[in-house]
Amino acid sequence: MLIKKAMFWRRRLSWKLMMVNGLVVAVVIWLAGVSVKDFACVVVGQFETVGEETTRSFNQTMQFYLWRASVLAVVVAALVHYFFVRKLLSPLKRLTESTQALTRGVYPEPIPAESDDEIGSLTRNFNRMTETLQREEQHRKRLMSNISHELRTPLSNLNGYLEALTNGVIDGDRELFRSLHEESQHLSRLVEQLHSLSVWEARRITVQEKSLVEIQGLCRQVVQTFQLESVKKEIAFHQDVQPCEIWVHEQGIKQVMTNVVANAVLYSIGNDVWIRGEVSDGNFLISITNHGKPIPDEVRPYIFERFVKSDPSRKRNGNQEGTGLGLAIVKEIVEQHGGQVGLSSAGTKHTFWFTIPL
């Protein structure tokens, strides 16, 4: 127990620094002082007129002043060092307290970075880390809330109708079964896109997974998959894609194109969809333009986030409703390629674009 108490300095960085600094100062002063003393004694001993008693007295006097100077220097150095170390370690103390709060699940207030040295850099990095963790926590809670909200309505409808059919309260007809089938399809799409998003977020595209893809041909393939639906809605596709081979994950970019074109067809109120592609500033820029309902200004900055829809108040109507995940998948895949996504909107004309570095 006494040994542990005697080793209290191990628990304090300031004490460690003070003891090391004091030891260094003492050793330096002692070596310098001893050298000066010995030199002075040798010089005095060379004079024959100085008696032995005088020489001994001189040596003792030099020894006394050496000890006194050493002790005084160590004490002064320790006091000066204490105040400097205390000021130096105060940011580390605040960082320690904030880290302890973070381990308890409490997000601390940002710590002011008072210097540009390593400690200041550490403080700024810690603040950024805390902000990121807090933002991710809020995002996780919002995601869980959105998922439960998206699942609640179709599940309630399915359970209500199935319970009524089971109890004989209502009789099934073609229209009812069609409605139940649409609810089931919506749930299937939601689960499938949630799975797709989680897969893309968990993976990182490697060089081995990429290949040279002729983007013009890829765009034609995607458009062909929407031919039947475009005929039903009387939508005409206009393609103006510059021939170019880009190094990409083929299935990923194909899913990006499919999701954006699907949105353009699903929410189009016009009869035309324009697909353009061109080389721009070291990137290949692809844009899909259509005419749809106006997108509120407060929604546009978040249109590529999970479960964000252009018209949150719109009621779901069978297959004419997305899951709010398609554009989030687009953003994830494009960013893994090092590109960017964006929306340019003016009234009813909307252009969704993304870039892939060449």
DSSP conformational letter for 210? -
| pLDDT for the residue 317 | 45
| pLDDT for the residue 29 | 67
Query: Mean per-residue pLDDT for 64-71?
Result: 71
69 located within any domain: yes
**Residue scoring higher pLDDT (7 or 269):** 269
pLDDT band at 350 (very low <50, low <70, confident <90, very high): very high
* Threshold 0.75, pTM exceeds: no
124 located within any domain: no
| pLDDT for the residue 214 | 93
Of 270, 186, 289, nearest to 230 by C-alpha is 270
- What's the mean pLDDT when you consider all of the chain? 79
| pLDDT for the residue 45 | 57
Judge whether residue 285 has pLDDT over 90.
yes
CATH number for the domain that contains residue 320: 3.30.565.10
Instruction: Give the residue numbers spanning the domain of 235.
Output: 210-357
Give the Å distances, CA to CA, from 18 to 29, 80, 180, 181, 220: 16, 10, 76, 76, 73
Token couple for 261? 């074109």
**Looking at 80, 103, 126, which one is the last position of a domain?**
103
Range scoring the smallest mean pLDDT among 43-52, 105-114, 205-214, 309-318: 309-318
| pLDDT for the residue 219 | 92
**Looking at 83, 103, 123, which one is the last position of a domain?**
103
Q: Tell me phi and psi for residue 96, to 5 degrees.
A: -65, -45
pLDDT tens for residues 264-273? 998 888 889 9
pLDDT tens for residues 72-95? 777 777 777 677 777 777 777 888
pLDDT tens for residues 140-174? 777 777 777 677 777 887 888 888 888 877 777 78
172 located within any domain: no
Token couple for 65? 């002043």
Q: Tell me phi and psi for residue 289, to 5 degrees.
A: -120, 140
Q: What is the pairing mode between strands 268-280 and 236-241?
A: parallel
**Looking at 103, 138, 161, which one is the last position of a domain?**
103
pLDDT band at 2 (very low <50, low <70, confident <90, very high): very low
335 located within any domain: yes
186 located within any domain: no
Domain count, the chain: 2
| pLDDT for the residue 9 | 47
